[in-house]
Structure 1
Amino acid sequence: MPSRNPGAMSQDWEPIVLHKRPLKSHDLRDPKAINQALRSGAQVQTIKKHDGGSNKKSAAATAPVVNTRKLDEAEEPAALGKVSVEVRQAIQKARIEKKMSQAELGKLINERPQVIQEYENGKAVPNQAVLAKMERALGVKLRGKISK
């Protein structure tokens, strides 16, 4: 039997399933794709990498190198050796004779002024590479005078 209302539309009760296309690995690097995924409600985890492509020294790179084998073989945790009084005085005396400030010496050997200050105050753990640079810059023998 034909419907009474010829302009009426019939309803389709079949379910329609929409699928989101999965993100590809190259989409994960694209900020536009990430923002689109966030807007669509997809679960996205992002990690901000600080100083990722910079040429800055990290804290781990500027930390003094410690011989870990000696620490592992030690029976008790021992304090690391500090710069001896003779080395401290030799650095100060040679630097003053050359009429340099701690900042100038640091710049000359490519180290921060705080490193020079720590060596002169006896707070630094001796690093042979830093001592070698100071020896060349100041013209003084410093290595071999490290206290324990």
Structure 2
Amino acid sequence: MSGAAWDTEAVKIGKNAHNGAGGPREKVIKSQSALNAAKRSGAAVATEKKYTTGNAATKPAVEGQRLTMVDRSDDVVPVKKVSKEVSDALKAARKAFVTADGKELTQKELATKASTAVANIIAIESGKATPDQKVLTALERALNTKLRGKNMGQPLHAPKAAPAAAAAKK
């Protein structure tokens, strides 16, 4: 028993005791200087972009799967645009909305009511805007009209058919 490793070598206990495969371990590098040092040493370096974050509330249009598809594609991928149905529904709802003066709602008045820029309204109505869910939600609430989904162009809060069903039960 006199030739055991614990007799002749210092035994490391704790976080510095590495008894593994002996090869370089996979490590997440968070700084640019550490990345450059790893490249200079000749280590295998793989870079991956993190598309989403834990609290992505500040980024309303995060499209992780789409960005991955664009990243892996060799072709030029066109940018998503608002569909013609959305722009037509917005135009019709804005023209049908009557102000207190008895006039139809202008793009500027709608932008003020929805707390967005006039350029956004113009771009959506012309079909050149990229879809932004926050802007579309604000426009739906301002016009009380659905601009997304299967009932596009219908009132947002349509009267429910529950009273007729309740009368049929009696």
What TM-score do the two structures reach when normalised by structure 2? Answer: 0.44
Contact residue 109 and residue 133 of structure 1 kept, 8 A: yes
User: Partner of 2:77: helix, strand, or coil?
Assistant: coil
Indicate the structure whose relative CO is greater, using CA pairs within 8 Å and at least 6 residues apart.
Answer: 1
Q: 1:9-48, aligned counterparts within 5 Å?
A: none
CA distance in 1, matches of 2:118, 2:130: 15
CA distance in 2, matches of 1:119, 1:96: 15
Percent identity over the alignment is 39
CA apart distance, 1:70: 2.1
Q: Which of 1 and 2 has greater Rg?
A: 1
CA apart distance, 1:64: 7.5
Structure 2 residue identity aligned to 1:88 = S
- For structure 2, the residue ranges without an aligned partner over 5 or more in a row are 1-58, 98-103, 151-170
Contact residue 89 and residue 147 of structure 2 kept, 8 A: yes
CA distance in 2, matches of 1:88, 1:73: 27
Structure 2 residue identity aligned to 1:134 = L
Alignment coverage as a number of residue pairs: 84
Match of 2:63? 67
* CA distance 1:112–1:135, change in 2 (3 Å): same
What TM-score do the two structures reach when normalised by structure 1? Answer: 0.50
Match of 1:80? 79
Match of 1:91? 90
Q: Aligned Cα RMSD in Å?
A: 2.4
- For structure 1, the residue ranges without an aligned partner over 5 or more in a row are 1-62
